[in-house]
Chain A
Amino acid sequence: MPLAPKADRDSHHQDKHQRSAVPNAIARFIEKLTADITRLVPAKPPKKDLKTFGAFLSSVSVPLSPCQIRLLSQWDVIVVDPLQPGVLDALAWDLSTAYILARLDVQNLTGSHAANDSKAVINSLDVLSQTLATSLKRQSDPHSYFRGILLTGFREHFSPAVLKKLQEYVNALGLDVWLELSPPEYLSTSECRDIDMTGIRGIVYRNGTIRPDGDRQNYFMMGEMRKVMRALAGQKPMGEATFAMWETVNDGVELAHDVVQRAYKWCNYNSAMLWIGPQSALTDAKVALKKCVSAEPLGALMWLKNDEIIAAQDRWRSNDKVGLLAPASQPGTVLTCGRSPSTHVALNPCTKHSTV
């Protein structure tokens, strides 16, 4: 049985006490929160396979514009910002077949960069619970239309032990917990070790396979992410956690076909959902429809591997004569394909007409 390196085992042994230590004040606070809880989401709907993923983080108009409807209906998992105007109203318009995640940025909500002591952590937890209570549903709605929260910016605020407690609280509200991790360091080694992934429903990696400048993340750049994925894989079966790759590129960057195809291939291998798009697509529905990559691109090598194409290529490259052997009166072949009406251009009969 292969063993983890000795250093890891020793430090694991050492920190085992630290890991399970949630400062008492924080623990008490969370218990208080859990005590008077009202479920936001009534029942657990049946599990559906989540295949596609997308994000739209700006305000939506009410009623939804056709662009926005088309955009939001093409994904299984949608990430929205619940604090933006119009989002809660839009959800009430029966997007309920989708799995909707509320993206909560802890740093933005609390207004502070990090929580250094217990008081600050309690403050952050307080703010978060307030947001959960008030911003996830309208007053008039019976329950929230969100299925989970996507927590981001939490690393400086919550230690892994506190995160565990927080996750239990959120689960008690009826919501799933997803984590959003960003480069360059997705999670530190100690966090990987200590974090308890069993309650986390899914993880979103920002720029996992494509860099913001449109080039690919090579193997070494993906090393940190791989470490996190391994830590997660060591703790729960692969089938129960969902991954997503959120690749945002800068505006104006032209995505290369091979980079996109490689991203899709890698994500297929790791059963991860993928969203690729420019920065402005997160806020503008029209840009999103136009510029986001919606499906795996076709492969040029696949086309070349076609049997007929191979035969044609062999004929072409072994051909040593150019110019028809047949007499000039031979009619040219007419090929008409495409949507435009065929236009027969009367030319030298030696040419082949092709209207494409």
Chain B
Amino acid sequence: MIPNLSSRLSLLSPEHSLQAEYGGIRIEAQDWPLGSDHVLDNPFSVSADENDYTGIGCFQMGLDCTRKDIADLLEAQRKLRDLDLLDRIQKDELRQLASDFKKLDQTRALGQDGLAALKELIDLLTAATGSETDKLRIYSGLHSGFRTRQETQIWGMYDVEPTMDTMNLYISNKTHDRAATILHTFLSSRGYTRFQCFTAEMKWAKQQGTLSSTWGLCPRILADIEQLSPAETLLWLQRLSRAKNDDARDLSSKVSAYCRYQLMEVPSLLQLRELNSTGYLSGDVSAESLVMSRLSWYREQGCSLPDASLALSVFTDIDARLPGILMSGNTQALAQFEDVITKIIQKDRIDASADMLALAVFCAFRRVALNEIYLEVLDRNPRPNLDPVQASCFAENYALGARCDAYLDLTPMACGKILSDRFRAYFRKYQPPRRDEVFTELPTAYASMDIDLDPKGGHEELPLYYRFTFLGIFAVPALIDITLLTTIGRGLYLSTYMSNVDKNMTTTALMVSLLLVGGFGGWISSGGSYYLYAMAFPAMSMFVLTRFIAGLCVAVVGGVFALIGIGAASSFVSGVVFFAYLVMLTTYLMTLSALSVYQLPGFQFQSVSHLPRLSSNLKLFANCWFIVRDELLS
């Protein structure tokens, strides 16, 4: 598959390789300016301001902490304890701790520093039952409550209650090693210096086997230093270098070595990683400069390294062949890749050729994977807004999941930036068409086929009788009325044999009823049609009925009053005529207006607002006909 791989990556010792200078700064040694005195103090036990750390508790190495800070935090923890919100360590765990400490005691490792205190701790732990009467109570609190105002991380504090002679230990729930923190805090409470507490912790770590092999420090100290910012690390390193205390020399040298590693090696490692991932994938860094940077890193480490041009040829070769392998579906080759990579990348056993091969393989796969992600994101979001955040959201949603870092060694933001830059370049070449404003569908190449849309929907064919009866609801009664009037002289509404007074009354009744219906009908249809569109049918019916009945009531009551009035003014009969016509006409017309609410779009039922015009025309026509009739009759 890849010819002559082993010979191409054969290692040469550094002397044989090119001694090209790649511009780097070599730091030989630090030379701190001579500052203040106090150089004889133990930097672990005493702060830079000459405050003794004894008895404060267990807190982060490298940062300062005062008694006042501790007092504040203790206050908060005491309150929480009173509210019963702290997690108390139970009997089983206390017994386990006791047995572990017993083992430490048996090794006699602590020596002068704390043997007595350890025995006391063991006794207290053995006697503890988790009840209220214990002499020692250990509480585990939320990590966020253990941070001072100066951002120092406290791991453990203690509090003595003089009345009951009990001691409360408060430790953070995110400590790396709970037993070590308890030991440190207890020793601190018994008056041992911080340096002695650290020594005890180191001995404990040694006994447990958790001491780091490269640095010789317990993991808690390593984690503490990692959490420091570069400025803080630098200050701490300065302090350590200046201190001339003999006791602390051993620990101090180890800690200084680790601080130096954190300051120098780790950032350059991060920068190299960034070059591999972001730099290469965005196209800013060419394959050649990537390989060269890696080789110069090997050179700094002083190990054997392969030849530059051959390494570059391996890199470009793998990069060129990978798409072909994937397209032809060569699963065997992929399995081989997997096999080789998992075998040669073992922790602490990677040499330069393995590293170079891994670089070539991972960079090739990452580049192809990013192309796939790019197409997928553009398919799902064809109109990106060129903001990198949007691109990274879509990439995570559809391709990467939450593990962008694990697959591509990129943060999601960096990935989004690379993708959005590519979009920009692509859209410069293929300009997208103008966005259609009425287009409400979310654009995506994986769109549904919209089979729910009915192309023929909404266009109902109304049968003929339907269309006829719409108009007929007004026209037919009027037609019948006129026909009857002309033929037999008795219409539906009036007849020619009525007296003038009666005719006046009926006409007035019509007018008043039209007014009433106009008001109430408008009221009904104003609200009713909204309920229909919202498909809230019970509410709609209720609405319409209440108003209908209201209209009827008004008509009836008004009619009664009018009856009395007219009966008093002129004759009772006219009053009755007026009342009857009023009520009948109002009922009929309001029914029509209520019915007009129940219509769907596309239908042609006219609402009652058209009614006055239509009936006034009819009335006019009827009046004309009466006049004509009268003339004819007379």
A residues lining the B interface (CB < 8 Å): 1-5, 8-9, 12-13, 193, 216, 218-222, 226, 229-230, 233-234, 238, 255-262, 265-266, 269, 293-301, 303-306, 308-317, 319-326, 333, 335, 337-338, 345, 347-348, 350-356
- 15 A-B pairs with CB atoms under 8 Å apart are A9-B459, A219-B382, A219-B443, A220-B432, A221-B430, A226-B447, A298-B334, A304-B407, A315-B345, A315-B347, A347-B6, A351-B6, A352-B6, A353-B6, A354-B6
In addition to A301-B399, A313-B406, 4 A-B residue pairs with Cβ atoms within 8 Å of each other are A299-B326, A299-B372, A304-B366, A308-B338
Complex partner residue of B329 from A238, A258, A298, A305, CB under 8 angstroms: A298
Say yes or no: is B292 at the interface (Cβ < 8 Å to chain A).
Answer: no
Residue B538, interface by CB 8 Å:
no
Q: Which of B303, B334, B443 is in CB contact (< 8 Å) with A322?
A: B303
Given contacts A309-B342, A322-B298, are A301 and B351 in contact (CB under 8 A)?
no
Cβ < 8 Å to A, chain B residues 238-285:
265-266, 269, 273, 276
Q: Give residues 294-349 of B contacting A (CB, 8 Å).
A: 297-298, 301-304, 322-323, 325-331, 334, 336-349
Nearest-Cβ distance from residue B458 to partner chain A, whole angstroms: 5
- Does B376 count as interface, using CB distance less than 8 angstroms? yes
Interface pair A301/B303, CB less than 8 Å apart:
no
The reply to whether A352 and B353 contact each other, CB–CB distance below 8 Å, is: yes
**Bound CA span A320–B269, Å:** 7
Given contacts A234-B455, A321-B348, contact A337 B375 (CB under 8 A): no
A4 touches B339 (CB 8 A): no
Contact, CB under 8 Å: A258 / B372: yes
Of the candidates B1, B265, B325, which one forms a contact with A338 in the assembled complex, judged by CB atoms under 8 Å apart? B1
Within the complex, which residue of A261, A310, A335, A345 is in contact with B339, where a contact is CB–CB below 8 Å?
Answer: A335
Instruction: Please tell me which stretch of B7-15, B84-92, B104-112, B503-511 contacts chain A, meaning at least 4 of its Cβ atoms lie within 8 angstroms of it.
Output: B7-15
Complex formed: what's the CA distance from A13 to B325 in Å?
56
Taking CB atoms, residues of chain B closer than 8 Å to A350 are 11, 304, 351, 353
Q: Which residues of B contact A315 (CB under 8 A)?
A: 345-347
Residues from chain B with a CB closer than 8 A to the CB of A297 are 326-329
Q: A229–B372 contact, CB under 8 A?
A: no
Instruction: Assess A257 versus B327: contact at CB under 8 Å? Given A9-B459, A309-B341, A354-B5.
Output: yes
B376 and A262 contact, CB distance less than 8 A: yes
**B450: interface (CB < 8 Å):** yes
Chain B minimum-CB-distance residue to A296: B329
Q: Smallest Cβ distance from A202 to chain B, in angstroms?
A: 16
Report yes or no: A12 in contact with B456, Cβ–Cβ below 8 A: yes
Q: Does B451 contact A (CB under 8 A)?
A: yes
Contacts of B375 in A (CB 8 A): 216, 258-259, 261-262
Shortest Cβ distance from B374 into A: residue = A258
Q: Find out whether the CB atom of A233 lies under 8 angstroms from the CB atom of B450.
A: yes
- B301/A2 in contact, CB under 8 A: no
Nearest-CB residue, chain B, relative to A320: B269
| A319 close to B350 (CB less than 8 A) | yes
Q: Which residues of B contact A300 (CB under 8 A)?
A: 322, 326, 365-366, 368-369, 372
B457 touches A303 (CB 8 A): no
Chain B interface size range: 35 or more
A218 with B347, Cβ < 8 A, contacts A300-B326, A300-B368 known: no
Instruction: Determine how close the nearest CB of chain A comes to the CB of B69; give it in whole angstroms.
Output: 35
Q: Do residues B304 and A298 form an inter-chain contact, with CB atoms below 8 A?
A: no
- Measured between C-beta atoms, what is the minimum distance from A227 to chain B in Å? 10
Is B408 interfacial (CB 8 A cutoff)?
yes
Out of A234, A269, A353, which one reaches B446, CB within 8 Å? A269
Contact A323 B455 (CB under 8 A): no
Q: Do A3 and B457 touch (CB < 8 A)?
A: yes
A350 to B430, CA, bound (A): 52
Interface residues of B in 416-465 (CB under 8 A from A): 430, 432-433, 438, 443-447, 449-459
- Expressed in whole angstroms, the Cα–Cα distance for A345 and B344 within the complex equals 17
B336 → chain A closest CB, angstroms: 5
Pick out which of these stretches binds chain A: B354-362, B489-497, B554-562, B582-590: B354-362
Q: Which of A1, A2, A293, A323 has the most CB of B within 10 A?
A: A323
> CA A80 – CA B622 in complex, angstroms?
82
Complex: how many Å from CA A259 to CA B374? 11
Q: Using Cβ atoms and an 8 Å threshold, which residues of chain B touch A269?
A: 446
B197 interfacial by beta-carbon distance below 8 Å? no
Contacts of B342 in A (CB 8 A): 308-309, 311-312
Instruction: Report if A312-B446 is in contact (Cβ < 8 Å); known contacts: A266-B379, A293-B327.
Output: no
- List residues of chain B with CB within 8 A of the CB of A337: 336, 339-340
Sorted nearest first, the 5 A-B pairs with minimum C-beta distance are A323-B303, A219-B382, A233-B449, A300-B368, A301-B369
Q: What is the chain A residue whose CB lies nearest that of B371?
A: A258
Q: Are B338 and A335 in contact (CB under 8 A)?
A: no
Residues of chain A within 8 A of B352, CB atoms compared: 322-323
- Asked whether, in the complex, the Cβ of B323 is within 8 Å of the Cβ of A322, the reply is no
- Which residues of B sit under 8 angstroms from A295, Cβ to Cβ? 329
**Interface assignment of B409: CB less than 8 Å from any CB of chain A:** yes
Residues of A within 8 A of B438 (CB): 5
- Whether A266 touches B5, Cβ cut-off 8 Å, given contacts A218-B378, A313-B409, is no
Contacts of B98 in A (CB 8 A): none
Contacts of B409 in A (CB 8 A): 313, 317
Cβ contact of B11, chosen from A216, A314, A319, A348, cutoff 8 A: A348
* Cα distance A355–B3 in the bound complex, in angstroms: 8
Kindly supply a per-residue 1/0 record for chain B positions 381-418, scoring 1 wherever the CB is within 8 Å of any chain A CB and 0 otherwise.
01000000000000000011001001111000000000
- Chain A residues near B350: list those with CB within 8 A: 316, 319, 321-322
Q: Is the CB of A257 within 8 A of B354?
A: no
Complex partner residue of A323 from B351, B365, B444, B449, CB under 8 angstroms: B351
Is B482 part of the binding interface, using a Cβ–Cβ cutoff of 8 Å? no
Known contacts A12-B456, A316-B355: A257-B378 contact under CB 8 Å: no
Contacts of A5 in B (CB 8 A): 438
**Given A218-B430, A326-B349; A2-B338 close (CB under 8 Å):** no
Measured CB to CB, the nearest residue on chain A to B305 is: A322
Q: Complex formed: what's the CA distance from A353 to B334 in Å?
A: 18
Q: In the complex, which residues of chain A have a beta carbon less than 8 angstroms from the beta carbon of B371? A: 256-258
A216 to chain B: which residues have CB within 8 Å?
375
The closest CB in chain A to the CB of B304 belongs to: A350
Q: Which residues of A contact B514 (CB under 8 A)?
A: none
Asked if A322 and B351 make an inter-chain contact with CB atoms under 8 angstroms apart, the answer reads: yes
| Nearest-CB residue, chain A, relative to B302 | A323
Chain A residues closer than 8 Å to B382, beta-carbon distance: 218-220
**C-alpha gap A238/B452 in the complex (Å):** 12
Contacts of A296 on B, CB cut-off 8 Å?
Answer: 329
Residues of chain B within 8 A (CB-CB) of A229 are: 449
Measured CA separation A57–B427 after assembly (Å): 36
| Interchain nearest-CB distance for B533 vs A (Å) | 14
B314 CB, nearest partner CB in chain A, Å: 12
For A294, the chain B residues whose CB sits under 8 A away are 329
Q: Which chain B residues lie closer than 8 Å to A320 at the CB level?
A: 265-266, 269
Contact of A352 with B338 in the complex, beta carbons under 8 Å = no
A312 touches B341 (CB 8 A): yes
Residues of A within 8 A of B341 (CB): 309, 312
Which residue in chain B gives the minimum CB-CB distance to A235? Answer: B455
Are A317 and B368 interface neighbours, CB within 8 A?
no
Q: Does B27 contact A (CB under 8 A)?
A: no
Q: Does B594 contact A (CB under 8 A)?
A: no
For A261, give its contact among B372, B447, B453 (CB under 8 Å): B372
C-alpha spacing A349/B430, complex, angstroms: 55
**What separation, in Å, do the CA atoms of A32 and B206 have in the docked complex?**
102
Q: A256 → chain B, closest Cβ, in Å? A: 7
Which residues does chain B contribute within 8 Å of A261, judged by CB atoms? Answer: 372, 375
Shortest beta-carbon distance from A26 to chain B in Å: 26
Residue B118 at the chain A interface, CB threshold 8 Å: no
CA distance A301 to B403 in the complex (A): 12
A298 pairs with B331, CB closer than 8 A? yes
Contact B349 A324, beta carbon cutoff 8 Å? yes
What residues on A are CB-neighbors of B347 within 8 Å? 315, 319
Please report the C-alpha to C-alpha distance between residue A256 and residue B351 in the assembled complex, in whole angstroms: 34
Bound Cα distance from A345 to B5, whole angstroms: 11
The reply to whether B450 and A230 contact each other, CB–CB distance below 8 Å, is: yes
Could you tell me the distance between the alpha carbons of A269 and B398 in the complex, rounded to whole angstroms? Answer: 14
